């Protein structure tokens, strides 16, 4: 039985929307499961008055990662489209002036460094400031809500790619995330979650019966999303994470790597059969090493319950061991006090692992402690059981 998403249920909640001037937070992922209408169309076709559209990273149409997005006008309805990934990331007082309600409908991936949830929380924060009701049209977490994994974000490393002491894989839907945000910050807001139906917290994407709704240009497949858990950490280095290739986040490499040696090094440390890999060269069309042949590995998650994070760090350390002079680690901003790896991973453990100061076993035990603490904290805000 297919999962029914919140967008399909808006007529059940029409009293909330009728006669209201609506600010709609959405993008290209806001669409019905049969792909026939996007969220804006659904609202207009049902007589609900959308006054403004707010968009997150990638904008309304799918701009590249990290690219600044400008305000524009909706081509059909000629209403303002306000970018929350341009001059500012939180709506201004002027942006929400005249609105009676804010509605959020975006497909997320359930990983802490994905920026959509921060756009949602910043909008919720503005709604709380102004006393504007906030509605989430919920959608499934494609990675399921049963698995919590990876380190929690240490507060001193917070940024727009990680905040609120979330684990890397936090096991909440966007609707549940509003409950976590309000509990974590102690703020009060009028929030309504239109929940998904035929959905439980142990369901992975393949069990929802839904078509893959591409959440951003580099996560074109569900398999890429599975490997984005951990694979995103390569954005802290000059090693390509496959952006600009046919398989972003499924291929990793650089021009200076000997892929035969790398394959042997990783094979010695990775014994599980949930993810298989092969030697692979590729040429990125953009991003790191554009136009150059990168030598490395290609990964195939064959079990959707797999955890790519430890394998990603094993791969990264294997490359660091072989090529300490060629591997570069970036900072989020020039002269920033913390490495980009620490900011993306949530603390200094990944850096310590690269320096071989701690073992994978020690790091995984710390992750498990974080996961247990987080699971206990979110018990009372869960919608799906």
**Residue 357 included in any domain:** no
Is the same domain home to 100 and 243? Answer: no
Q: What is the pLDDT of residue 154?
A: 96
- Over residues 30-43, mean pLDDT: 97
Is the same domain home to 101 and 163? Answer: yes
- Distance separating alpha carbons of residues 361 and 148, to the nearest angstrom: 17
The separation between CA 257 and the C-alpha centre of its own chain, rounded to angstroms, equals 29
Is the same domain home to 281 and 161? Answer: no
Phi/psi at 216 (5° precision): -165, 165
**Residue 361 included in any domain:** no
Rounded to the nearest 5 degrees, what angle is found at the Cα of 90, between the Cα atoms of 86 and 95?
A: 90
- Over residues 59-77, mean pLDDT: 87
> Residue 68: which residues within 8 A CB-CB, separation 6 or more?
83, 85, 86
Is the same domain home to 144 and 248? Answer: no
- Distance separating alpha carbons of residues 238 and 34, to the nearest angstrom: 40
Question: 192 is written with which tokens?
Answer: 């309504």
Rounded to the nearest 5 degrees, what angle is found at the Cα of 222, between the Cα atoms of 208 and 115?
A: 100
If one counts the domains in the chain, the total is 2
Q: Give me the helix-helix angle, 259-269 and 308-322, nearest 10°.
A: 130
How sure is the predictor about 234, in pLDDT bands with cuts at 50, 70 and 90? very high
Is the same domain home to 144 and 45? Answer: yes
Is the same domain home to 197 and 282? Answer: no
- What is the percent of the chain where pLDDT is above 70? 98
The enclosing domain of 320 has a CATH number of 3.90.1150.140
Looking at per-residue confidence, does 68 or 292 come out higher?
292
**Residue 364 included in any domain:** no
Is the same domain home to 193 and 277? Answer: no
pTM, rounded to two decimals: 0.96
Domain of 119, in residue numbers: 6-209+375-381
Looking at the predicted structure, is the pLDDT value of residue 260 above 80? Answer: yes
**Residue 215 included in any domain:** no
Is the same domain home to 196 and 307? Answer: no
How sure is the predictor about 333, in pLDDT bands with cuts at 50, 70 and 90? low
Is the same domain home to 18 and 135? Answer: yes
> Count of CB atoms within 10 A of residue 332's CB?
18
Query: Over the chain, what HEC string results?
Result: CCCECHHHHHHHHHHHHCCCEEEEEECCCCECCCCCCEHHHHHHHCCCEEEEEEECCCCCCCCCCCCCCCCEECCCCCCEEEECCCCCCCCCHHHHCCCCEEEEECCCCCECCCCHHHHHHHHHHHHHHHCCCEEEECCCCCCCCCCCEEEECCHHHCECCECCCCEEECCCCHHHHHHHHHHHHCCCCCEEEECCECCCCCCCHHHCCCCCCCCCCCCCCHHHHHHHHHHHHHHHECCECCCCCCCCCCEEEECCCCHHHHHHHHHHHCCCCCEEEEEEEECCCCCCCCCCCEEEEEEEECCCCCCHHHHHHHHHHHHHHHCCCCCCECECCCCCCCEHHHHHHCCCHHHHHHCCCCCHHHHHHHHHHHHHHHHHHHHHHCCCC
pLDDT in tens, 138-181: 999 999 999 999 999 999 999 999 999 999 999 999 999 999 99
**Residue 77 included in any domain:** yes
**Residue 367 included in any domain:** no
Is the same domain home to 149 and 171? Answer: yes
Question: 94 is written with which tokens?
Answer: 């002027």
- Beta strand pairing status for 21-26 and 49-55? parallel
**Residue 87 included in any domain:** yes
Is the same domain home to 72 and 179? Answer: yes
The enclosing domain of 45 has a CATH number of 3.40.50.12170
Looking at the predicted structure, is the pLDDT value of residue 334 above 70? Answer: no
- Distance separating alpha carbons of residues 254 and 300, to the nearest angstrom: 19
CB of 207 closer than 8 Å to CB of 145: no
Is the same domain home to 141 and 232? Answer: no
**Residue 355 included in any domain:** no
């Amino acid at each position: 039985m297919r999962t029914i998403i919140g967008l399909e249920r808006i007529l059940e909640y029409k009293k909330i929307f009728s006669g209201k001037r609506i600010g709609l937070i959405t993008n290209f992922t806001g669409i019905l499961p049969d792909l026939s209408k996007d969220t804006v169309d659904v609202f207009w076709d049902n007589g609900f008055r959308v006054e403004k559209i707010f968009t997150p990273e990638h904008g309304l149409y799918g701009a590249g990662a990290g690219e600044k997005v400008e305000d524009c006008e909706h081509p059909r309805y000629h209403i303002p489209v306000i970018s929350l990934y341009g001059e500012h990331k939180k709506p201004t007082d002027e942006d929400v002036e005249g609105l009676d309600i804010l509605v959020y409908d975006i497909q997320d991936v359930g990983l802490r460094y994905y920026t959509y949830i921060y756009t949602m929380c910043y909008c919720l924060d503005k709604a709380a400031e102004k006393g504007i009701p906030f509605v989430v049209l919920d959608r499934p977490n494609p990675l399921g809500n049963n698995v919590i994994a990876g380190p929690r974000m240490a507060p001193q490393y917070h940024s727009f790619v990680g905040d609120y002491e979330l684990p890397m894989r936090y096991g909440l839907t966007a609707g549940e995330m509003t409950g976590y945000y309000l509990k974590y910050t102690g703020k009060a807001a009028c929030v309504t979650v239109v929940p998904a139906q035929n959905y439980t917290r142990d369901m992975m994407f393949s069990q929802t019966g839904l078509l893959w709704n591409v959440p951003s240009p580099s996560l074109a497949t569900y398999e890429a999303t599975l490997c984005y858990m951990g694979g995103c950490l390569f954005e802290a280095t000059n090693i390509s994470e496959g952006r600009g290739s046919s398989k972003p986040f499924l291929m990793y490499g650089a021009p200076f790597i000997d892929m035969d040696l790398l394959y042997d090094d990783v094979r010695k440390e990775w014994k599980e059969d949930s993810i298989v890999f092969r030697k692979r060269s590729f040429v990125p069309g953009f991003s790191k090493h554009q136009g150059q042949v990168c030598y490395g590995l290609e990964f195939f998650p064959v079990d959707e319950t797999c955890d790519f994070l430890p394998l990603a760090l094993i791969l990264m350390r294997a490359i660091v061991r072989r090529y300490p002079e060629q591997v570069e680690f970036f900072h989020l901003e020039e002269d920033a006090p913390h490495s980009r790896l620490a900011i993306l991973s949530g603390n200094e453990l990944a850096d310590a692992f690269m320096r071989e100061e701690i073992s994978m076993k020690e790091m995984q035990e710390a992750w498990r402690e974080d996961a247990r603490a987080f699971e206990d904290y979110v018990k009372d805000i869960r919608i799906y059981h």
